[in-house]
Copies of this chain bind each other. A is one copy, B any other.
Amino acid sequence: MTYCVGLFLDEGLVMLADTRTNAGLDNISCFAKLQPFHRPADRMIAAMTAGNLAVSQAVINLIQEGIENPETGALETIYSVPTMFGAAALVSKAVRLVYHTHGKAMLDQDVPFDVSILLGGQVAGRTMRLFQIYAAGNFIEATRDTPFLQVGEHKYGKPILDRAVTSSTTLTEGVKLALISMDSTLRSNLSVGMPLDLLVYRNDSIDSVETHRIEENDAYFRMIRDHWSVALSDAHRQIPAPEWLHRPTPGKRQQK
């Protein structure tokens, strides 16, 4: 299983993915699911993938090697598309090509054709965007009203995002919230696993992008996990008990 989350904030993008893949519980490996395509001064695009590993690796390969445009005959790649919308459309085409090539054989073996991709970034002079591409090749886009998208095992990590993320959340808070959301997922689903890959991109700063690999023993992530557990425990203890709970039964007299 996989968990990937992308925050689409006014300040920029935060993208966080785990690295665990498994084909059954006894065949567990570590694969990067976050793939940046960065060419300073020109574009910073990053993809995060969930679902069947063979499918997602084929898609990532195709968008780098290029897909022929039937009208012009030219090869389109993730480095040549002129816009983020074009990048999403390229990923969509790649998904459909992989389905065309492998879909039927997979379904014959009862392997579902399962892939979801988050694609975020910016092309120089254009606006920053974040898309989610489905297995059918159709796609949606994050907006200021819905400033995060998730793929994979998304439910455990959603409540904190629902409550705390708005488009005006800063990049720094966004990094913390994405890590908290990931921590909730790691605790509740063993098949989502460390290390984590994090990408932080500041809006309109095509020249630079930050990527970090967060290992199991990363001091900051461990601090967040501990801090968050303590904070949650304190928070529920501070809530007063309901007045209606354990109310004395009518027959029982209370002393003044």
Binding site for B on A (CB under 8 A): 155-160, 162-164, 171-173, 175-177, 180, 184, 187-188, 200, 208, 210, 212, 220, 223-224, 227-229, 231-246, 249
Contact = CB atoms under 8 A, between A and B. Distances in A.
B232 A235 contact: yes
Contacts of A175: 241-242, 245
A162 B188 CA distance: 7
Given A155-B188, A159-B187, A239 B228 contact: yes
Given A241-B172, A243-B220, A245-B175, A158 B188 contact: yes
A188 B181 CA distance: 14
Nearest to A179: B242
A182 to B, nearest CB: 11
Contacts of A245: 171-172, 175, 200, 210, 212
B246 A176 contact: no
B162 A232 contact: no
